[in-house]
Structure 1
Amino acid sequence: MKEKILRALRSAGGYVSGASLCEELGVSRQAVWKNITALKENGYEIESVPKKGYRLAAVPDTLYAPDILSRLPESCLCRKVECFSSIDSTNTKAKQLAELGEAEGTLVTAEKQTAGKGRRGRSWESEPGVGIWMTLLLRPSILPVKVSGLTLLAALALVRAIKDVCRLDAQIKWPNDVILAKKKICGILTEMSSEENYVHYVVVGIGINANMASFSREVEETATSIYLQTGKKINRAELAAAWIQSFCEYYGQFIKRQDLSFVTEEYNSVLANKDKEVRVYYGMAGQISLENTDVGIARGIDRDGALLVDIQGQRKRIVSGEVSVRGLHGYV
C-alpha cells in the first residue's frame, strides 16, 4: 500500500484528500494514516493539512522498495523489490532467490555490498549510501549464446536513464561500462544458469557511481560519479527506476526479436570508441599482456552484440567474455 500511496501523492503534485486515497485504494482512513506514518518514519516528508489532505513535500535519498515501485508503470516487468542495508553481493542474493523459484522481474538492491563482483573476476567498490547496487532476475526464453546481449541492453538503458534524469550524455565502453568524461560510472555483470540449449535464469547486476564525492587512489584515474560531474546529488531511487523501466522496455523487444537489430544504431551512436583506435586484450584480467593483444579500429556492434574491429585489413568480430577493449592511450 505504501507504493500506491506514494504513486498517488506523486502523480497529484499537490494535496490529496484522505477520502480520495481511501476510495482509490479501497481501504479505511486508519489504514491510510498507518501507512503514511510508516512512510514518515522512513524519512518521507508528507504534509497533512485539515480539509486539504496529504502532500508529498520531500523524499529521502534511499533505495526503498515502495518508492522504486511507485515510480514504475504498473505494467512493468519489475513488480517486486527486495532492499538490504548490507549484503555480500546483490548478484549472489538474486541467484539464491532464482534457485528458490522467485519470479522473473524481481529486483535486489543494497545500500552496501561487502563482496561486490565485477566482470572478469574483478572486485567492485560499494560505498554505502551513495551508489546504486542492484540486480534484476530474468527468466528469458532465449538460447544461452544470446544472453550477452542483455549486458549491452543494460548499458544502453542506463545511458537513456541518465539522459532523462540527469540531463547528461553518457557513453558506453563496450561491452559493460558506462562512462562520463571518459571515466567509468557504471559496471555491469550478467550471470546465468543454463544447460546447452536452455536458460534457467539470468541475473543482471549493475553498480552505478551516483553520489560519490571521491574514490580510492587505485581507481580515481578511471572512475567518476554523477555527483562529481554535476556537483549535484541525485535521487537514487529515481535513477534506479528510470533504468529498470528503460531496460524492461528493451528486454521485451529483445525477447521478441531474439537479437539486437532494433538497437544497433542507437547503441553505436553512444559507443565511446566508435571509429577510434583500440587495443583488444585477450585473457583474464590478471593474465593480460601486450603480447596477447590486437590493435584496430572499432566500427560498432552487430546484431548479436559483437564488437566489429578492423584489424590489419580484416574485420573481426570481438565477442565479450575473456576479452577487454580499451583506447590505445588509456581506459577509453
Structure 2
Amino acid sequence: MEPTRNRLIELLETSDYEYVSGQFLSDKLHISRSAIWKHMKELEKDGYIIEGVPRKGYRIVKSPDKISANTLHWGLKTNWLGKNIIHKPTTKSTQLIAHQAAQENAEHGTVIIADEQTEGKGRMERRWHSSKHKGIWMSIILRPSILPSAAPQLTLLTATVLADVITEQTTAEAKIKWPNDLLIDGKKTAGILTEMQAEQDRIHYIVVGIGLNVNQTSDEFPGIINDRAASLKSATGEDQPIVPLIQQLLLKFERSYDTFMHHGFSKVQTKWESYGYRIGETIRIRTNHKVLEAAFTGVAEDGALLIETGEGSQKIYSGEIEWF
C-alpha cells in the first residue's frame, strides 16, 4: 500500500496545489476511484489537508509538519537509509530503542526518531534536553564493514552532514567543535553520540545518535544551559519545517556514508576541517595535571585532535580543552 500512497503524494505535490482529477490519479496508479478516496482519508489522518471538489478532483491545501513514519517516507529520496523507520511520540532515549532493535536484527539504515526524549543523553552520560516537537531526536543503525578502530570516523562524518544541512537549509553558519558538537554563534545547537557493539576485528552494529535543536526560542532552554544553547530558530529568527529537514539530513547522510565506504576518510577529513571550530588557532588543553598551549591543526584518521607544539605534531584523544 505504501508505495502507492507515496506515488499519490508525488502526483498531488507536483501539481503545485492545483486540482488533479480522480480519473487521472486512477489511471496513473492503476487503482479504482474508491481506492483513491480511501488513500485520501489515510493521508488526512497523518495531517494532510486535502480538498476534493466534484468534477475538479483533489488538491493538497496543506502538508503536515508532524513527524510520523508515513510523513517521513513520503518524499524521502534515499536508497537504503530510513526505509525502516521506528517513530515514538515519547521515549526515554532513541539510543536505547536503537540498541534493542539492532540486537533484534533491525536492518542497516533503520532510523529511530521521537517527538521528545525524557532521558536524552550525550557523551559522558551528560543530559540532553529534548523538548517535544522542537527538535530532531534521532538514532541511526549502521552495520558497516569497517574495523572498530575506524568507528570514530563516523562521528566526524555525521558532524559534517549536520554542518552541511544547517548551512544549506538555513541562514545560520555552523561550526564543528571537536569531537561531536555543532555550534552556531558559539552556542551548542547539535550533538552526536556514537555507540557500537563490536568484537576486536568486527563491528556488529553502530548506533549514531543525533540531537538537533530546531524550533526552541531562546527562553525555552533550561536556565542551566540557556546561555550556552541555541536552536536553528533562535539563530535565524525563523521557524524551520522539521520533516523536510529530517529528509534532507537522511539523504545527505546516505550520500556521505556511501562515499566514505567507497573512497575512505579523506573527503570527510577535508570537509570536517573546513567547518572546524577554532581550527588554525591556539587552544589551551589540560591533560594529566599539565596545561598545554598549542595550535589546533586538524583531525586525524582515528578521530584524534591534531595539535602543533614546539616539540612537533601531537594527537589528543581526551583532555579538558578551553574552547571559549
Q: TM-score, normalised by structure 2?
A: 0.91
Q: Among residues 16, 23, 26, which one is paired with 1:19 in the alignment?
A: 23
2:240 partner SS: coil
Q: Distance in 1 between matches of 2:233 and 2:273?
A: 26
1:168 partner SS: coil
Structure 1 164/42 Cα, relative in aligned 2: closer, same or farther at 3 Å? Answer: same
Partner of 1:113: 117
Aligned length: 318
What fraction of aligned residue pairs are identical, expressed as a percent? Answer: 34
Letter in 2 for 1:224: A
Q: Distance in 2 between matches of 1:121 and 1:273?
A: 25
Question: Does residue 260 of structure 2 align to residue 262 of structure 1?
Answer: no
Q: Distance in 2 between matches of 1:154 and 1:13?
A: 34
1:326 CA drift (Å) = 4.1
Partner of 2:72: 68
Question: Does residue 200 of structure 2 align to residue 196 of structure 1?
Answer: yes
Partner of 2:251: 245
1:109 CA drift (Å) = 0.5
Deviations 1:87-106 (A, max 9, x none): 11101101111111111111
Letter in 1 for 2:248: A
Partner of 1:224: 230
Partner of 1:286: none
Deviations 1:13-35 (A, max 9, x none): 23333333334444333333222
Q: Among residues 136, 155, 172, which one is paired with 2:159 in the alignment?
A: 155
Q: Among residues 34, 41, 45, which one is paired with 2:49 in the alignment?
A: 45
Extract unaligned runs of 5+ from structure 1.
283-288
CA RMSD of the aligned region, Å?
Answer: 2.0
Structure 1 97/4 Cα, relative in aligned 2: closer, same or farther at 3 Å? Answer: farther
Q: Distance in 2 between matches of 1:279 and 1:27?
A: 66
Is the Cα–Cα contact under 8 Å of residues 88 and 115 in structure 2 kept in the other structure? Answer: yes
Partner of 2:276: 271
Q: Distance in 2 between matches of 1:199 and 1:95?
A: 13
Q: Distance in 1 between matches of 2:206 and 2:214?
A: 25
1:83-162 matched pairs, under 5 angstroms:
83-162=87-166
Structure 1 5/19 Cα, relative in aligned 2: closer, same or farther at 3 Å? Answer: same
Is the Cα–Cα contact under 8 Å of residues 61 and 237 in structure 1 kept in the other structure? Answer: yes
1:219 CA drift (Å) = 0.7
Q: Distance in 2 between matches of 1:112 and 1:293?
A: 40
Partner of 2:34: 30
Q: Distance in 2 between matches of 1:23 and 1:318?
A: 62
Is the Cα–Cα contact under 8 Å of residues 77 and 105 in structure 1 kept in the other structure? Answer: yes
Is the Cα–Cα contact under 8 Å of residues 6 and 67 in structure 1 kept in the other structure? Answer: no
Letter in 2 for 1:315: S
Deviations 1:144-170 (A, max 9, x none): 011111111111111111223223321
Is the Cα–Cα contact under 8 Å of residues 50 and 62 in structure 2 kept in the other structure? Answer: yes
Partner of 2:7: 4
1:178 CA drift (Å) = 0.9
Q: TM-score, normalised by structure 1?
A: 0.89
Structure 1 197/24 Cα, relative in aligned 2: closer, same or farther at 3 Å? Answer: farther
Is the Cα–Cα contact under 8 Å of residues 185 and 226 in structure 1 kept in the other structure? Answer: yes
